[in-house]
């Protein structure tokens, strides 16, 4: 397939769920190669959104029901930004209309649900699906991935930290039938980033618990072992202080050197690295995306892949894997044992 040029028709999007999804809608309303056609939310008032004028300001039509939006609008792709338990019928409707899907993390509530969702997606084998693991699309993370394939050599030992502020999570996150905890719902970003950098994980050990009286674990210290022999320790959960703006940090010791990613607002923007024999470190920085634009690079990749006819990444396998690790962390916390993934 030839590479599309600027005159090729844009990818027509609908966005379902206007909590975090409102950020996607805003990004898509100006993203080259994309056109925001419609948005949907069952209860926009609860999100503080006056639906019709809000949608019109983005050049889109407003719907309440996402299924109706899929049935009535001419779309190529849909952003599914509703909590994981509410997606089955949306994915089914999208598949039946031949739409591509940009799917919010987490992929599923738990392993059984991940299997159900996998079987559902399997009914639509040609359907392009991308998980919104937006951290791996940040330029600093992409550059680190490149360095691991180049002068730094493979990652051996990692220390990583990404902990949300304590009062940042919607209440459904703590419901075992909807979000199933902050590790599944948010630390999954770090789990995916580690898999992107280190490959296939094979075993988990974990300590932590519910320190602030949350219904499920709200702070975890996790050790992950990878098929390559690499090891990672990470802290996750929701114990942070708002004023520190969710600092993000990841140190990796590699075959030929060392690198450190840092940032804030739940994103990585700065990278320092050196090979074992270099006299001075390299320092590279990228401006962090603006408020609500954390997924802009991921969406740009999705649009570019659809226009080029290639598979967007990460696909749903990465989503299934992150759920599997999150559930293994829970099992390791409960049993105190090492849990195979």
Ligand X SMILES: NC(=O)c1ccc[n+]([C@@H]2O[C@H](COP(=O)([O-])OP(=O)(O)OC[C@H]3O[C@@H](n4cnc5c(N)ncnc54)[C@H](O)[C@@H]3O)[C@@H](O)[C@H]2O)c1
Per CB under 6 A, residues contacting ligand X are 16-21, 40-43, 46-47, 65-66, 81-84, 86, 90, 104-105, 132, 134, 170, 172, 185, 294-295
User: Minimum CB separation from ligand X for residue 40, in Å?
Assistant: 4
Please choose, from the candidates 153, 150, 152, 237, the residue with its C-alpha nearest in 3D space to the C-alpha of residue 191. 237
User: Minimum CB separation from ligand X for residue 251, in Å?
Assistant: 22
DSSP character at residue 153: -
* Number of neighbouring beta carbons within 10 Å of residue 167: 9
Residue 47 or 228 with smaller CB distance to ligand X: 47
Residue 44 or 155 with smaller CB distance to ligand X: 44
Please choose, from the candidates 30, 84, 32, 82, the residue with its C-alpha nearest in 3D space to the C-alpha of residue 60. 30
Residue 41 or 73 with smaller CB distance to ligand X: 41
User: Minimum CB separation from ligand X for residue 302, in Å?
Assistant: 13
User: Minimum CB separation from ligand X for residue 100, in Å?
Assistant: 18
With a CB cutoff of 8 Å and minimum separation 6, the contacts of 269 are: 138, 140, 262, 263, 285, 286, 287, 288
Residue 40 or 320 with smaller CB distance to ligand X: 40
* 3 state SS of 145: helix
Residue 83 or 155 with smaller CB distance to ligand X: 83
Cis peptide before 314 (omega within 30 of 0): yes
Which residues pair with residue 224 across a beta bridge? 204, 232
Tell me the residue number closest to ligand X, measured at CB: 19
Give the C-alpha separation, 144 to 163, whole Å.
Answer: 21
Residue 34 or 70 with smaller CB distance to ligand X: 70
User: Minimum CB separation from ligand X for residue 19, in Å?
Assistant: 2
β-pairing, 219-226 vs 201-209, is antiparallel
User: Minimum CB separation from ligand X for residue 23, in Å?
Assistant: 8
Cis peptide before 106 (omega within 30 of 0): yes
């Amino acid at each position: 397939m030839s590479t599309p040029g600027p005159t090729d028709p844009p990818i027509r999007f609908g966005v379902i769920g206007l909590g975090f999804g409102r950020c996607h809608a805003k990004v898509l309303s100006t993203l080259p190669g994309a056109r925001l056609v419609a948005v949907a939310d069952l209860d926009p008032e609860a999100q503080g959104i006056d639906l019709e004028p809000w949608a019109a300001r983005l050049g889109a039509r407003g719907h309440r029901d996402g299924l109706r939006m899929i049935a009535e609008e001419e779309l190529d792709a849909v952003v599914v930004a509703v909590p994981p338990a509410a997606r089955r019928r949306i994915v089914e409707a999208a598949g039946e209309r031949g739409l591509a899907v940009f799917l919010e993390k987490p992929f599923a509530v738990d392993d059984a649900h991940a299997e159900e969702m996998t079987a559902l997606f399997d009914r639509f084998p040609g359907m392009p699906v991308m998980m919104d693991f937006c951290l791996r699309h940040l330029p600093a993370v992409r550059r680190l991935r490149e360095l691991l394939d180049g002068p730094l050599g493979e990652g051996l030992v990692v220390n990583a930290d990404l902990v949300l502020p304590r009062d940042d999570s919607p209440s459904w996150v703590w419901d075992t039938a909807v979000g199933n905890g902050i590790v599944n719902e948010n630390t999954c970003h770090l789990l995916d980033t580690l898999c992107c950098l280190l490959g296939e994980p094979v075993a988990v050990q974990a300590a932590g618990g519910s320190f602030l009286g949350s219904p499920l674990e709200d702070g975890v210290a996790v050790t992950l072992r990878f098929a390559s022999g690499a090891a990672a320790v990470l802290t996750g959960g929701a114990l942070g202080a708002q004023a520190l703006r969710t600092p993000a940090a990841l140190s990796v010791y590699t075959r030929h050197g060392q690198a450190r990613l840092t940032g804030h607002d739940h994103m990585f923007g700065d990278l320092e690295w050196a090979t074992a024999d270099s006299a001075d470190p390299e320092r590279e920085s990228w401006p962090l995306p603006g408020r609500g634009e954390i997924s802009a690079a991921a969406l740009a990749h999705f649009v570019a892949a659809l226009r080029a006819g290639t598979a967007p990444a990460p696909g749903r396998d990465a989503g299934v894997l992150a759920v599997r690790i999150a559930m293994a962390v829970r099992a390791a916390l409960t049993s105190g044992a090492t849990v195979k993934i």
